[in-house]
Amino acid sequence: MKTDELLREYGFDLETQKRAHGYQLAVLRMKAVRYAALACLLLLFAAFGSGGLVRALGGGPASGWGLNALYVLVFAIGLSIVDLPFDLWDYSIERRYGLSTQGPKSFFADWLKSGAINLIILIIAFPAIYLGFRDSNLWWVISWAIATGFIIFMGFISPILLMPLFFKFEPLADAELVGRLKKLAERAGVKVLGVFKMKAAAKTRRATGALTGIGATRRIILSDTLLENYTPDEIETVIAHELGHHAHKDIWKGTFSFSAMAFVALLAVHLALPPLARALGLGMGIETLPLFLTILGGIFAILKPLYNTISR
């Protein structure tokens, strides 16, 4: 039996399926071009510009945390600007396929917020990592342990500090649906703080039903797009699926699978960065950050299919 006939038999709309396929291809094409272009630009900057930037900022081989932080600030802002066309490309795909309702002003506001969060993390993390290069051959193990703890911490604070920066939340007013979902969580043995409505319609048509947070911050969130377009039974089914992930510890499995991937990636950086830096005439200071990110990103890209297999 042909694929189209099977889809019709199971009630799928062929035009919708073709449109979904076109969307996936467009996203994959954008990501492939994005990652390839950024990798090439990082390598070119490492070879021809990074050392010059360090010198322009007044640094040298033994630069301290302050110079490293200044380098990361300038580098990260530059990289964000270079990456902006790909963010706009992604945004245009979402608009073209009718998934995004977000206007340009809101898009750029979110872009600035994301950039600021990433900048704070990078300015704290990478200067410390590069000081570790000078103090210990186990810098990568220490960095991995801290990164694992940071991932767990971010999972804990995300629903109370990060997500509200991008969406407004309020307790769900539908007492009947709240009761059904809380009972469902109790049956699954998963403690939740409450059920919250996420105001997403101003930015997206995507329907979201999820559990976010860890431990005391874990909560059920339902987007207004889900509440307006799906029945209570359908919403309960969505949340049952999410509760299953928590009940079977899939969140922790995913976290530690990602941690294992980070361990391998940081080990690869530890082994590959010194010879690559020497080949480009660089020391082991902050000027090798573009190489660091290229190696790290390459290993993550190679390992991601395995991670997806384990986590799903």
Same domain, 149 and 67: yes
The CATH code of the domain that includes 239 is: 3.30.2010.10
| Domain final residue pick, 247, 266, 285 | 247
How high is the pLDDT of residue 235? 97
How high is the pLDDT of residue 160? 94
The separation between CA 180 and the C-alpha centre of its own chain, rounded to angstroms, equals 31
Tokens 């070879």 sit on residue: 47
pTM of the model: 0.89
On the 0-12 / 13-18 / 19+ scale of CB atoms within 10 A, 276 is: middle
CB neighbours (10 Å) of residue 142?
A: 15
* 275 Cβ contact list (under 8 Å, min separation 6): none
Tokens 């200067």 sit on residue: 127
* 9 Cβ contact list (under 8 Å, min separation 6): 1
Same domain, 304 and 215: no
DSSP state of 1: -
Same domain, 171 and 303: no
How high is the pLDDT of residue 2? 67
Same domain, 143 and 126: yes
Coil/strand/helix, residue 100: strand
* 310 Cβ contact list (under 8 Å, min separation 6): 253, 254, 257
How high is the pLDDT of residue 58? 84
Same domain, 275 and 136: yes
- Tens digit of each residue's pLDDT (9 = 90 or more) over 22-41: 999 999 999 999 999 999 99
Same domain, 201 and 89: no
The angle, 0 to 180 degrees and rounded to 10, between the axes of the packed helices 65-96 and 289-311 is: 50
Among 264, 257, 255, smallest CA distance to 299 is for 264
Cα dist from 187 to 23, 159, 166, 211, 216, whole Å: 37, 23, 32, 15, 18
| Domain final residue pick, 223, 247, 271 | 247
How high is the pLDDT of residue 62? 54
Q: Which domain holds residue 8?
A: 3-164+250-311
| Domain final residue pick, 247, 262, 284 | 247
How high is the pLDDT of residue 308? 78
The CA-based dihedral angle spanning residues 30, 36, 41, 42, taken in that order and rounded to the nearest 10 degrees: 120
Q: Which residues of the chain have pLDDT under 70?
A: 1-2, 4, 6-7, 9-11, 60-63, 134-135, 311-312
Same domain, 104 and 20: yes
Same domain, 152 and 289: yes
> What is the SS3 string spanning 161-180?
HHHHHCCEEEECCCHHHHHH
Same domain, 63 and 175: no
How high is the pLDDT of residue 10? 65
How high is the pLDDT of residue 115? 96
Among 106, 150, 161, smallest CA distance to 125 is for 150
How high is the pLDDT of residue 312? 61
Domain total for the chain? 2
Same domain, 81 and 100: yes
Same domain, 262 and 280: yes
Cα angle, residue 25 at apex, residues 20 and 29 outer, rounded to 5°: 150
Among 69, 71, 177, smallest CA distance to 127 is for 69
How high is the pLDDT of residue 34? 97
* 195 bridge partner residues: 220
- Tens digit of each residue's pLDDT (9 = 90 or more) over 68-86: 899 999 999 999 999 999 9
Same domain, 81 and 157: yes
